[in-house]
Chains A and B, each alone.
Chain A
Amino acid sequence: MNKAYLIFKHEFLQAVKKVGFIVLTFIVPVLALLAIGFYELVTTLIEPSTSEITTVGYVDQVGIFRDQTDQGLVKLIPFASREEATRALVSKDVSEYIVIPSDYTSSGTIQRYTLAKELITPQVTSYLIKSFLTWNLLKDDVAPETITSIVSPLNMEVTRLDENGDIAQEQGNIGNIIIPATFSLLLSFALMLGTQSLISGLGEEKESRLMEVLLSSVSIRQLLIAKVLALGAAGLLQVIVWLISAPLLLNLASSSFGGFLSDIQLPPNFLVLGVLYFILGYLLFAVLSVTFGGISSSTSDAQTLSMFYVMMLFVPLWFFGVLINFPNSPIWVVLSIFPITAPIQMMLRLGVSDIPAWQIVTSIGVLGLSIFVGLSFSVKIFRAFMLMYGKRPSLAGIMRSLKAT
């Protein structure tokens, strides 16, 4: 039997038996679902119920705000003076009060007084007070239906057209980003754990000299390729489990919780490109890990060095908010082609906007080339430094080993 396959099998089984892998693969998706459910539950609980009506006092110094005091969840009660309103607030007859100053129509400013410590005025209160003020300002000159339109929030239906002016098949909405964003986050954690796992495994083999025993049976190339592919296969298993479980869990979630979950949809190409980037990401990080594992004098050294490329992995996630608002910035193209950030950046972009084919081809090409060249480098570096125990190689030494045939 091929020795590389035997190492691959051993490494793969060791990787998938690790607690971190099992937790991330099988338990995290369930935990994520529970977290969404919990979020929905908490949101429902903290939303004011229809029977919970807030009484807001007001002091009208303009003298025109008399109508529409019943704003649904907010009931407005007039007071003749601030002192009177303050007394009502202190004695908890009202939850808060506002003062509409005599220059309100020119300044547009009112004062709000409350006993509660809060960072910002609750949106519902703000909206209903604004509605009350608008109604009274316009009631004599504008038809009630028009006022209703003015105070109602904008309801905009967006339709995306294709280049022929027909309705595009893929409309794109916030539901499109949920799966790519979730997968990106999970891939980041999976790569972080995979990197640590590979580095600690290499460290164990190096420090215990098992590496020498292995290399007395197989070549460095066989060993490293098997290790890299094993981690890639572990990644593939992970993505398969998630892809199979995701639709089931999301269906369950949307039927149970409703809300935005029912809007979730898989962006086109995600199934193919998402999986491809997931695997390429795993392979690249495995190559980086065996390279740094080969250079490092100890496991802890290798783990410290790995932080540099693991941190870069999270760059696309840091700028996720900016990506949603400005999806066509050239910076995303750069991050999509730079191999370390490419897998996560591309996954996120798949959910946000269309990506030109040349960018996808370039990104995959650069990633593939980086994996191939990186593996060749790692074999050379490994040969030069695998037997250095407790010594950190110099940069000049590393360069010399790369030049060596």
Chain B
Amino acid sequence: MKAVEVNHLYKSYADVTAVHDLTFCVDPGEILGLIGPNGAGKSSTIKIILDFMKPDSGEVRIFGQQMNEALKDQIGYLPEERGLYKRLTAIDLILYLASLKGMDKATAEKRANVLLEQTGMLESKKKKNKEMSKGMGQLIQFIVTVIHDPELIILDEPFAGLDPVRTQTVQNIIGNLRDEGKAIILSTHQMNKVEELCDRVLMIDKGHTILYGDLIETRAKFRRNSVQVAIDGELGDLRGVIDRKPGKGSIELVLAPDTTPQTILDQLRDRGTPINRFEVTTPSLNEIFLNLVGADHE
């Protein structure tokens, strides 16, 4: 059963189209990267999934059902901009919000301690939220999102404001949750995180789907006919190369349409040139994003 199924979703505010005919799904054990420029309709999509707002038309099903109160206990949500009850301690906040997800106090406390330990926050659990740094607060919110072991996790910019160490910690936990079979929607502007974590990607702009599919297949689809090469010395003339783009420590060779990367590799090997790096050029998600969305926004 699909964790999330979104079918032909439409939503407008006055004369602005927020979501236009959006269709996608998320499977258990999968991370879907939801990407797009500011105002693309990502937040509206998330809020419709969570039933905070109603779509003009279209349908959302969570584990085969329309959103209901019981389903809410299976969902963990981390909003983009985050804050905490300032006067509460970290542990009190975690336990209160865990109780709203149907957890009993003893279980919640046990799981909270595990997550606090994993995130390096155990010693700060009795600190009041107003005494915490932004990064510490972010971790507490992340713990709140996953403490009840939800089957569907929706994360809106989970790495914003985190230092590299904490970013890696959160990234590891997200990866583990996917491995445990949780369905995760990850909305972020950090394309490298989408590349590192996501299985599928949904790119939207002005409410329209620009790109949707398996991440590896998507990158392959946008692969250019070129190779990245780094050797000691001069490359010299190579058959089938129509352009050369020097880069940092390597050079990109743009190939003629009838030339394959294997042809270039064979030529270099025949010459006996020591090869330090040879790689078929695959565009980064950021490049694909800029290619698809950037031109329009310029």
B52 surroundings in chain A (CB, below 8 A): 212, 215, 383, 386-387
A1 to B96, CA, bound (A): 12
Residue from A207, A210, A386 within 8 A of B85 (CB atoms): A210
Asked if A248 is an interface residue, CB under 8 A from chain B, the answer is no
Contact A216/B50 with A3-B100, A6-B100, A7-B100 known, Cβ cut-off 8 Å: yes
Which B residues have a C-beta under 8 Å from some C-beta of A?
Answer: 47, 50, 52-53, 69, 72-73, 75-77, 79-87, 96-97, 99-102, 141, 144
Question: Contact between A218 and B72 (Cβ–Cβ < 8 Å)?
Answer: yes
Residue from A10, A208, A217, A219 within 8 A of B83 (CB atoms): A208
3 A-B pairs with least C-beta separation: A208-B83, A217-B100, A216-B77
Contact A207/B83 with A216-B50, A216-B75 known, Cβ cut-off 8 Å: yes
Contact A204/B85 with A209-B80, A216-B75, A217-B100 known, Cβ cut-off 8 Å: yes
Contact A213/B50 with A3-B100, A6-B99, A208-B84 known, Cβ cut-off 8 Å: no
Asked if A35 is an interface residue, CB under 8 A from chain B, the answer is no
Nearest B residue to A389 via CB reads B81
A361 surroundings in chain B (CB, below 8 A): none
Nearest B residue to A6 via CB reads B99
Contact A208/B100 with A216-B50, A218-B72, A387-B52 known, Cβ cut-off 8 Å: no
A1-B99, A212-B50 given; 20 more Cβ-contact pairs under 8 Å: A7-B100, A204-B86, A207-B83, A208-B82, A209-B79, A209-B82, A212-B79, A213-B97, A213-B141, A213-B144, A214-B97, A215-B50, A216-B50, A218-B100, A219-B69, A383-B52, A383-B53, A386-B52, A387-B47, A387-B53
A–B complex contacts, Cβ < 8 Å, 29 sampled: A3-B100, A6-B96, A6-B99, A7-B100, A10-B96, A14-B87, A207-B83, A208-B81, A209-B79, A209-B81, A209-B83, A210-B83, A210-B84, A210-B85, A212-B52, A212-B77, A213-B77, A213-B97, A213-B144, A215-B50, A216-B50, A216-B77, A217-B72, A217-B73, A217-B101, A218-B69, A218-B72, A383-B52, A383-B53
Contact A213/B79 with A1-B99, A3-B100, A218-B100 known, Cβ cut-off 8 Å: yes
B73 surroundings in chain A (CB, below 8 A): 217
A213 surroundings in chain B (CB, below 8 A): 77, 79, 97, 141, 144
Q: Mark A1-44, 1 if CB is under 8 A from B, else 0.
A: 10100110010001000000000000000000000000000000
Nearest B residue to A212 via CB reads B79
Query: How many contacts A-B (CB < 8 Å)?
Result: 60
The distance from the CB of B207 to the nearest CB of chain A, in whole angstroms, is: 17
Interface residues of A in 172-230 (CB under 8 A from B): 204, 207-210, 212-219
A133 to B53, CA, bound (A): 85
Nearest A residue to B144 via CB reads A213
A1 to B108, CA, bound (A): 14
Interface centre among B75, B86, B96 (most CB of A within 10 A): B96
A7 to B83, CA, bound (A): 18
A213 to B77, CA, bound (A): 6
Interface residues of A in 110-151 (CB under 8 A from B): none
Question: Contact between B96 and A204 (Cβ–Cβ < 8 Å)?
Answer: no
Q: Mark A362-395, 1 if CB is under 8 A from B, else 0.
A: 0000000000000000000001001100000000
B79 surroundings in chain A (CB, below 8 A): 209, 212-213
A66 to B87, CA, bound (A): 78
